Every structure is written in C-alpha cells, then in structure tokens.
Amino acid sequence: NAGVTQTPKFRILKIGQSMTLQCTQDMNHNYMYWYRQDPGMGLKLIYYSVGAGITDKGEVPNGYNVSRSTTEDFPLRLELAAPSQTSVYFCASSDRQGGKLFFGSGTQLSVL
Amino acid sequence: GESVGLHLPTLSVQEGDNSIINCAYSNSASDYFIWYKQESGKGPQFIIDIRSNMDKRQGQRVTVLLNKTVKHLSLQIAATQPGDSAVYFCAETPGTYKYIFGTGTRLKVLA
C-alpha cells in the first residue's frame, strides 16, 4: 500500500496565484486532515473531513478551501496565495475519530 | 505544538546509549497519545501509541510511559542508533477530530 500520497513535493507561487495541493490515500480511511507546519509551531489543523461529501474547518482555515468527492481524495485549494501561507503542508488520514494518524510526505510551499 | 523548526530543544546521545524524550500534554480529557518521528524533508512517521488506561507500552526498542497525574509522556529508545536521529514529537487527542501536537525534540546520535 502507498498510504497517503501528496503532490507536489515542492512549489513556489507568486502572491495572488492559486494552486491545489493533492492528497490521496489507499487505506479506505474515512477521516482525512490537512495540517500546516511552521517553524517553532506545532502542526495546525486547516480543514478536516469525516467522509466523502463532508468537510469542516479546523483552527486556521482562512485562505484555503477543500473538497471531498471521494473517500480517497482530499485536495486543498489556495485561491489567492499570500506570503503567510508559506509553510509545509501535510495531509493525514485515520480509520476512526481519535485514531492513529497516517501522514503524507508533505508539500513545501513558498509564496513570494 | 511540534515543528521541524530551527530552535527545537536538542538531545544528544552517544550511539548505543538509551534516549529519553519527554512531552508534557495539555488536555486532561486526552485519552490517546502518539509518538511520531520526523526526518528532515519527510512526513511524520508513527512510532508507538498508548491509551489512557495504560501506563506503559513497549514496542521494538521503544517504550512509551504515561503519567496522567502530571500529564507527562515519555519516549524511551533503547540502544540508540544513527538512524534514530530525527525530530520526535507527541500528539494527544480526546478521541475527537482534534489532535494537539507537541513542539518536538531533535535527537542527535553521536558516533
């Protein structure tokens, strides 16, 4: 099994550009999460989903959007990139609420 | 919270020695705890977990200890190897979607 797969691994955006960070998992997990990781800070939850068609905001959702049309995929959309969105983004999944989280390898995003 | 940051506390140990990494958790309602290992440029990798109805759990070369009285979690790595060099952080959850992540400790293994 591949687990949680994220693409791209690296990306540089100009201010105001948009992009989608892709995340897919092959473990048939209902719960999926997007986190950002900033230096000196813990992982912060951006959005999460408890199943296909259901998404909800986390701690830091501003500037982001998500969709969950299938169990496998949970893309994260940045509409108008800002320097404050420079970070490392991780997608994670779990088979139940409050269960073991499996992480992807991350996307390092720089907004210049 | 945890991060692969520039100013994380660092633990340096000699190869072959045991390592102990500590974590203070914040939520008394947390009932599930996880230790992750994160190597540079990679995603967090699951090491070991423990539920609040246990005080100790052992894996291969790793042991997690939970002290609910003082809200403290520790990760012990036996016979530390160069491949153990990484950032280690803990996570806690009260069984909801919400996880709280520790700030992390950088482990350096000296040859």
Output the pLDDT for position A1: 67
- CB-neighbour burial class of residue A14 (10 A; exposed 0-12, middle 13-18, buried 19+): exposed
User: For tokens 């633990």, what's the residue?
Assistant: B11
What is the length of chain B? 111
A98 and B CB contact within 8 Å: yes
The pair phi, psi for residue B94, each rounded to 5°, is -85, 15
In chain B, which stretches have pLDDT less than 50? Answer: 1-6
- Kindly state the tokens that stand for B78: 């036996």
Q: Do A101 and B99 touch (CB under 8 A)?
A: yes
**How far is it, in rounded angstroms, from Cα A29 to Cα A99?**
11
Asked whether the beta carbons of A88 and A109 are under 8 A apart, the reply is: yes
Separation in Å, CA of A14 to nearest CA in chain B: 22
Give the model confidence (pLDDT) of A51-105 as tens digits.
999 999 999 999 999 999 999 999 999 999 999 999 999 999 999 988 999 999 9
Best of A27, A54, A101, A102 to substitute, by most chain B Cβ atoms within 10 angstroms, is A101
Output the pLDDT for position A82: 97
Of A43, A97, A100, the CB nearest to B2: A43
Local structure of A33: helix, strand or coil: strand
A48 and B CB contact within 8 Å: yes
Q: Do A40 and B89 touch (CB under 8 A)?
A: no
Local structure of A9: helix, strand or coil: coil
Least confident of A25-29, A32-36, B9-13, B23-27: B23-27
Beta-bridged to residue B68, according to DSSP, are none
Radius of gyration of chain A (CA): 13
